[in-house]
Amino acid sequence: MELKVDLGERSYPIYIGEGILDDIVDLFNKHRISKLSPILLVTDDQVAEFHLDKVLELLLKGGFQVVSSIIPAGEKSKSIAQFEDLITVAIESGLDRKSTVVALGGGVVGDLAGYVAASYMRGIAFVQIPTTILAHDSSVGGKVAVNHPLAKNIIGAFHQPELVLYDIATLRTLPERQIKAGLSEVIKHGFIRDADFVAWIDHNAYKLLELDSEALEFALYHGCRIKSIIVSQDERENNLRAILNLGHTIGHALEAVAKYNGLLHGEAISIGMVGAARLSVLLGNPEHIYTETKRILRKLGLPIQLPKQLDIDEIMVAMMHDKKFDSGRMTFIIPTEIGEVEISNQVTLEQVSQVLEQLKQ
Ligand code: NAD
Ligand code: ZN
């Protein structure tokens, strides 16, 4: 399947399919990835173990010059230090303006390598080969970044890739928890904009969890499609794009309080989406928004309650740190139906803390 992300002259295709990596040379040639300038291929040590040799071999056989750089797996690698190391490799390997940075990995590799591509010589070509389900989210929208010790994703840019190559086969080596966590962001896109897609996920949850090829292709295609429609309307997040943050206000605070230990991003977002649904009911929307959200997320094997050890006051502080709020009211993305959301700035701190209490039970 091929999906075009429509951004005027920055438009690009996402190729999704089982075994699509076998076509990497043809697709690189089609998209004029330079053979005369070195490619910097960035991956992490876990992904390298399973998928680097194949990609490297295909590209070298296809006549590309490739320098590969393997970073330690994990969020810690999204750092200025790691960014600087990659820039050093780029300079020492003679990357020039016609060079391309290729990210082979999940969102961490994609964000870091993308930021290298955005910065090196004020921007060179970038290609993404996502290897997690969650990275369907980062393969659309062009946000690239590294973290600062005081704030996540605070140093970054918008830099769209030339193309994205999403091979379902690479997902088969993912740990089970990462599969579920990735599906949390897939269904988020359904909850935001597409009730039919939510119903489809509900019916096909088991197939998705078993990594059925056709089901995954369909799910990733529609996850990317929904995000790309929203991003096309608001590339630089002036307003509409904020709806993509469904579940993220509570989710980010949970991640901060859990210090990223024991809670994956997708898991935190799952709990955050249940929280947003509960808030919705509190604001007068129908109860089934909450019960259905909870039921479907549970079916996907995702957490729907707050871990007991987390302190609600601490979560509230983290949330206030992360978000602007006006006279005791916060802005939240609130589901108004399954498949529809609104941006509400009417949520009170009391309502949020009440919902967090309920999520603990
Ligand atoms: P990740 O890249 O850390 O991958 C998760 C783990 O899975 C890592 O340990 C990795 O080594 C391993 N892994 C990856 N692919 C594998 C495979 N095929 N087989 C076996 N193991 C594999 O994390 P993620 O969940 O993909 O992404 C999270 C990051 O993405 C966060 O930093 C987040 O900020 C970012 N993100 C960015 C955007 C964006 O728009 N740019 C959107 C969503 C998330
Ligand atoms: Zn997210």
User: What does the pLDDT look like over 136-171, one tens digit per residue?
Assistant: 999 999 999 999 988 889 999 999 999 999 999 999
Per-residue pLDDT, averaged over 20-44, amounts to: 97
46 lines ligand 1 (CB under 6 A): yes
pLDDT 10s digits, 183-198: 999 999 999 999 999 9
pLDDT 10s digits, 232-281: 887 777 788 889 999 999 998 998 887 656 789 999 999 999 999 999 99
Distance (Å, rounded) from C-alpha 115 to C-alpha 121? Answer: 12
From the list 51, 248, 278, 294, the catalytic residue is: 248
Contact at 8 Å (CB) between 187 and 146? no
pLDDT 10s digits, 60-76: 999 999 999 999 999 99
Distance (Å, rounded) from C-alpha 24 to C-alpha 80? Answer: 30
The dihedral sign for the CA sequence 50, 54, 60, 62 = negative
Distance (Å, rounded) from C-alpha 178 to C-alpha 165? Answer: 19
pTM for the whole thing? 0.94
The pLDDT assigned to 283 comes to 93
Å from CA of 59 to ligand 2 middle: 31
The pLDDT assigned to 150 comes to 83
Q: How far is CA 44 from CA 154, 278, 331, in A?
A: 22, 38, 36
The pLDDT assigned to 219 comes to 98
The pLDDT assigned to 361 comes to 66
What average pLDDT does the chain have?
94
173 lines ligand 1 (CB under 6 A): yes
Q: Which of 54, 55, 138 to mutate to test the pocket of ligand 1 (most atoms within 8 A of CB)?
A: 138
Active site residue 225: no
Residue nearest to atom 4 of ligand 1 (CA): 106
Å from CA of 311 to ligand 2 middle: 22
Q: What is the residue type of 64?
A: F
Distance (Å, rounded) from C-alpha 262 to C-alpha 265? Answer: 10
Scan for tokens 């820039």, then name that residue: 87
Helices (H), the chain: 24-30, 45-47, 53-61, 80-92, 107-119, 135-138, 176-193, 195-209, 213-233, 248-258, 265-282, 288-299, 312-322, 349-360
Structure tokens at 148: 């600062």
Active site residue 287: no
Of 194, 193, 184, the residue nearest 303 (C-alpha): 184
Å from CA of 6 to ligand 1 middle: 24
Nearest 5°: phi and psi at 2? -125, 135
Q: How far is CA 178 from CA 137, 172, 267, in A?
A: 14, 11, 9
Ligand 1 atom at minimal distance to the Cα of residue 141: 40
Distance (Å, rounded) from C-alpha 115 to C-alpha 145? Answer: 5
Per-residue pLDDT, averaged over 2-14, amounts to: 90
Secondary structure (3-state) at 102: strand
Q: How far is CA 225 from CA 10, 193, 228, in A?
A: 16, 11, 5
pLDDT at 311 over 70: yes
183 lines ligand 1 (CB under 6 A): no
Per-residue pLDDT, averaged over 284-306, amounts to: 97
- Paired residues of 105 in beta bridges: 130
Q: Could you tell me which CATH number the domain at 2-173 has? A: 3.40.50.1970
The pLDDT assigned to 342 comes to 95
201 lines ligand 1 (CB under 6 A): no
The band of 335, judged by pLDDT with boundaries at 50, 70 and 90, is: very high
Q: What is the residue type of 16?
A: I
How do the domains of the chain map onto residue ranges?
Answer: 2-173, 176-360
Q: How many CB atoms lie within 10 A of CB 207?
A: 16
Per-residue pLDDT, averaged over 309-328, amounts to: 81
Secondary structure (3-state) at 31: coil
pLDDT at 325 over 80: no
ipTM given for this complex:
0.99
Å from CA of 19 to ligand 2 middle: 26
Ligand closest in space to the Cα of 192: 2
Give the single-character DSSP code of 198. Answer: H
Å from CA of 135 to ligand 1 middle: 6
Å from CA of 22 to ligand 2 middle: 29
B/e letters for 56-84, b = 16+ CB within 10 Å, e = fewer, are: bebbeeeebbbbbbbbebeeebbbeebbe
Contact at 8 Å (CB) between 114 and 126? yes
Please state which architecture CATH assigns to domain 176-360.
Answer: Up-down Bundle (1.20)
Contact at 8 Å (CB) between 264 and 108? no
From the list 122, 236, 308, 324, the catalytic residue is: 122
Ligand closest in space to the Cα of 244: 2
Distance (Å, rounded) from C-alpha 57 to C-alpha 191? Answer: 40
Q: Which of 5, 7, 47 to mutate to test the pocket of ligand 1 (most atoms within 8 A of CB)?
A: 47
pLDDT at 180 over 60: yes
202 lines ligand 1 (CB under 6 A): no
75 lines ligand 1 (CB under 6 A): yes
230 lines ligand 1 (CB under 6 A): no
Active site residue 185: yes
133 vs 233 pLDDT, higher one: 133
Residue 267: is it exposed, middle or buried by C-beta count within 10 angstroms (0-12/13-18/19+)?
buried
Which residues carry a binding-site annotation for NAD(+)? 107-111, 131-132, 143, 152, 170-173
